[in-house]
């Protein structure tokens, strides 16, 4: 794939197409998710408090250079069901987050399938040496996904977060993967 910074990105997996969204598209496709506490709270955001304008403002960094919002389209649908977010900092460390806003798609292996393509893009196209994610300690589906993809648990940031639903402090778990580990994992899987 030849991709240049700033250009839209398109990735494909067996069941899904991932396409980067601009701010207007993000609002068009994801605004309705902002009303669902089960979708928003694990993200650290309150549900039902967002006007369209405020929601739009959140995504001003969607530039396909440092910040990528990948809409996830099932090949059988014309509407995205979720979004993979990649944020690359000045040290070329990429932070991951994901939301499956259409809850009918929870429990269907979407993250396992789409995240592999996103991680390959991060390591192969963006040439980042490290990717990481920080789920809250009670976000069991998210923790499961990091572990199953072979991320290393680096530790726990104790009481680092605040649960928007309960306003209680919560622990955050740090998961990471290095580029060399990813390449080695792929080599082993290909050889098996
Ligand atoms: C996080 C999210 C994308 C995961 O979706 P998913 O991959 O479809 O998750 P699943 O429902 O398949 O759960 C994954 C696994 O976690 C485990 N799990 C789920 N809920 C669990 C619970 N309450 N307790 C223990 N384990 C649980 C299960 O093992 C499950 O896999 P299995 O049932 O196939 O064995 C989705 O839940 C979501 O969009 N949540 C809101 C936003 C969010 O939390 N984003 C991540 C923060 S960055």
d(CA 84, CA 158): 26
| Closest to 47 (Cα-Cα) out of 34, 57, 59 | 34
Residue 1 has pLDDT above 70, yes or no: no
Q: ∠144-182-80 over CA atoms, to 5°?
A: 55
- Confirm if 178 and 130 have CB atoms less than 8 A apart: yes
Residue list, ligand 1 pocket, CB within 6 Å: 39, 42-43, 97-100, 106-108, 110-111, 135, 139-142, 144-145
Using CA atoms, how far residue 28 sits from 49, 78, 82, 180, 188, in Å, is: 17, 13, 13, 38, 41
Question: How far, in Å, from the CA of 41 to the mean position of ligand 1?
Answer: 14
CA distance 33 to 137: 23
pLDDT of residue 3: 86
DSSP-derived letter for residue 151 is: P
Distance 106 CA to ligand 1 centre (A): 7
Tokens of 57: 């403002």
Q: How far apart are CA 69 and CA 87, in angstroms?
A: 9
What would the mean pLDDT of 168-175 be, rounded to a whole number?
97
Where do the domains of the chain lie, and which CATH numbers do they carry?
A: 10-191 (3.40.630.30)
Instruction: Name every residue whose Cβ is closer than 8 Å to that of residue 44 and which is 6 or more positions away in sequence.
Output: 136, 161, 162, 164
Residue 164 has pLDDT above 90, yes or no: no
Q: Find all residues with CB under 8 Å of 2, minimum gap 6, and list them.
A: none
Identify the H or E element spanning 142.
helix 140-148
How sure is the predictor about 153, in pLDDT bands with cuts at 50, 70 and 90?
very high
Q: Report pLDDT digits (tens) over 36-75.
A: 999 999 888 999 999 999 999 999 999 999 999 999 999 9
What's the confidence (pLDDT) of residue 165?
84
Mean pLDDT for the chain overall: 96
- Across residues 131-160, what is the average pLDDT? 97
Q: What is the pTM of this model?
A: 0.95
Where does the pLDDT of residue 144 fall: very low under 50, low under 70, confident under 90, or very high at 90 and above?
very high
CA distance 100 to 78: 15
Report the separation in Å between the CA atom of 2 and the middle of ligand 1, taken as the mean of its atom positions.
33
Give the residue, by CA position, lying nearest to ligand 1 atom 14.
141
């Amino acid at each position: 794939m030849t991709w240049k910074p700033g250009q839209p990105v398109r990735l494909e997996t067996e069941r899904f197409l991932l396409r980067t969204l601009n701010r207007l598209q993000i609002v068009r496709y994801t605004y309705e998710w902002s009303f669902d506490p089960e979708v928003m709270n694990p993200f650290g955001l309150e549900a039902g408090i967002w006007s369209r304008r405020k929601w739009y403002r959140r995504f001003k960094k969607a530039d396909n250079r440092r910040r990528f919002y990948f809409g996830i389209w099932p090949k059988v649908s014309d509407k995205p069901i979720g979004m993979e977010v990649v944020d690359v900092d000045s040290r070329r460390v990429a932070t991951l987050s994901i939301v499956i806003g259409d809850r009918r798609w929870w429990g269907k292996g979407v993250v396992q399938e789409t995240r592999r393509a996103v991680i390959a893009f991060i390591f192969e196209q963006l040439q980042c040496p490290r990717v990481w994610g920080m789920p809250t300690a009670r976000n069991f589906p998210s923790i499961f996904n990091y572990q199953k993809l072979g991320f290393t648990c680096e530790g726990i940031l104790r009481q680092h977060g605040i649960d928007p639903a309960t306003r209680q402090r919560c622990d955050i778990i740090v998961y990471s993967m290095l580029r060399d580990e990813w390449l080695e994992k792929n080599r082993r899987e290909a050889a098996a």
